Amino acid sequence: MITMEHVCKSYKVAKRKAGIGEVCKSFFRREHEVVHALQDVSFTIGEGEMVGYIGPNGAGKSSTIKILSGILTPDSGSCTVDGRIPWKNRTEHVKNIGVVFGQRSQLWWDIPVIDSFELLKEIYSVSKENYNRKLEELTELLQLSEILKTPTRQLSLGQRMRCEVAASLLHEPKILFLDEPTIGLDAVSKLAVRDFIKKMNREHNTTVILTTHDMQDIEAIAERVILIGKGQILLDGSLQELRTAAGGQDAQESLNLDHVMAALYKKLDIM
């Protein structure tokens, strides 16, 4: 379903230093620095897999997601998603993917949620029957019936996130990218979102790629974990393998996952 081979990506960023003198100097000349966001990243993800994509801040997670969703062109390497190269033929590609950004909204702020959905239906050219069927299904699974008529600005974060997830699935994408979908949610909403994602995967064989800092998300959803640090894939395997890699034998088993991750980040020196 998804293959990435030897993908590299680097950015040029301007250096800034503190102090009035430095500011004045940079007024005339600026120095640049090359940041390697991704260095030779390769992996394959099969249809219907649920993969947790983790790593510390700035490791290259969002660059990968952007490349897979066609927003970013890599410097080198190849990548295919469902037989297509994402950054070529963008419109065809994005019809097959759904993306949820936990920190940004795709719903229109001042109008009822259902109206946002209607517009998305038009944008993705979803037929009336498919739309109605899908909406019914999502409404039931995510318990949206009460809140569909409410303007987005009046929803609680948990309610809004449920609507965001639904909005990303209206066009029945084969692949779903979730970027920190449970950030800031209360326990009930978190569980609801997780359960729903699992159910979508079971019933529609949707491929799910999840980036998060919440290790419970990973534990609940991901069968497979890819760990990235400083632009390189460091580990690709099950959660159990991750624990082992952290060096934790029996004693570490009882520790919670956050400690395991922290130990692993330190050990691999990727912070």
Partner 1 sequence: MKKYLMFFKLRFATGLQYRMASVTALTTQLIWGIMECLAYKAIAEAMGTGLPMEYSSIVTYVWLKEAFLALFLTWTGDKDIFSLIQNGGVSYELCRPVSVYTMWFSRIVGGRGAEALLRCVPVLICAFLLPGTLRMGLPVSIEAFVLFLVTLVLAVGVAVALCMFVNMLCFFTISPQGWRMVLLGSADFFMGNVIPLPFFPERFRKVVEWLPFPYMQNVPFRVYSGDLPVAELGPVMAKQALWLVILVAAGLFTWKQVEKKIVVQGG
Partner 2 sequence: MSLRKSISLYIRYAAICVRSIMEYKLSFVLMIFGRCMIAFTEFLAIRFLFDGLTEIKGYTYGDVLLCFSVIHMSFTLSELFGNGFKVFSGIVKSGEFDRMLLRPCSPILQVMGTRFEIGRTGPLITSTITLCLGISESQVSWNFLTAFTLLLMIIGGILLFIGLYMLGASFCFFTIEDTSILNALTYGAKEHGKYPIDVYGRGVLRFCTFVIPYTLVQYYPLQFLLGRSTNWVLGLYPVGVVVFLAICYGVWCAGVRNYKSCGS
Under the rule (CB under 8 A), what is the footprint of partner 1?
A: 20, 23-24, 26-28
Write the CA distances from 24 to 21, 32, 33, integer angstroms: 5, 16, 19
Across the beta sheet with 207-211, the strand order is: 97-101, 175-179, 207-211, 50-54, 224-229, 232-237
x/- mask, partner 2, residues 10-39, rule CB under 8 A, reads -xx------------------------x--
From the list partner 2, partner 1, none, pick the one residue 204 interacts with, judged by a Cβ distance below 5 to 8 Å according to partner type.
none
Sign of the torsion formed by the C-alpha atoms of 212, 37, 271 and 223: positive
Candidates 40, 80, 101, 252; binder of partner 2 (CB under 8 A) is 101
Residues 6+ apart with CB under 8 A from 254: none
Q: Which is nearer to partner 1, 12 or 128 (CB)?
A: 12
The secondary structure of 57-84, three-state, reads: CCCCHHHHHHHHCCCCCCCEEEEEECCE
CA atoms of 122 and 239, how far apart (whole Å): 40
Q: Report the nearest approach of partner 2 to the CB of residue 33 (Å).
A: 14
Q: Report the nearest approach of partner 2 to the CB of residue 118 (Å).
A: 8
CB atoms under 10 Å from CB of 134, counted, come to 18
Q: Distance from first CA to last CA of the chain, Å, rounded?
A: 31
Q: Report the nearest approach of partner 1 to the CB of residue 12 (Å).
A: 17
Q: Report the nearest approach of partner 1 to the CB of residue 29 (Å).
A: 10
Candidates 1, 8, 72, 191; binder of partner 2 (CB under 8 A) is 72
Sign of the torsion formed by the C-alpha atoms of 14, 17, 23 and 26: negative
From the list partner 2, partner 1, none, pick the one residue 23 interacts with, judged by a Cβ distance below 5 to 8 Å according to partner type.
partner 1
Size of the site for partner 2 (CB under 8 A): 33
From the list partner 1, partner 2, none, pick the one residue 90 interacts with, judged by a Cβ distance below 5 to 8 Å according to partner type.
partner 2
Report helix angle 157-169 to 187-204, nearest 10. Answer: 10
Candidates 61, 66, 224, 230; binder of partner 2 (CB under 8 A) is 66
Interface positions with partner 2 (CB under 8 A) = 9, 11-12, 37, 63, 66, 69-73, 87, 90-92, 94-95, 97, 99, 101, 104, 106, 108-111, 115, 119, 122-125, 151
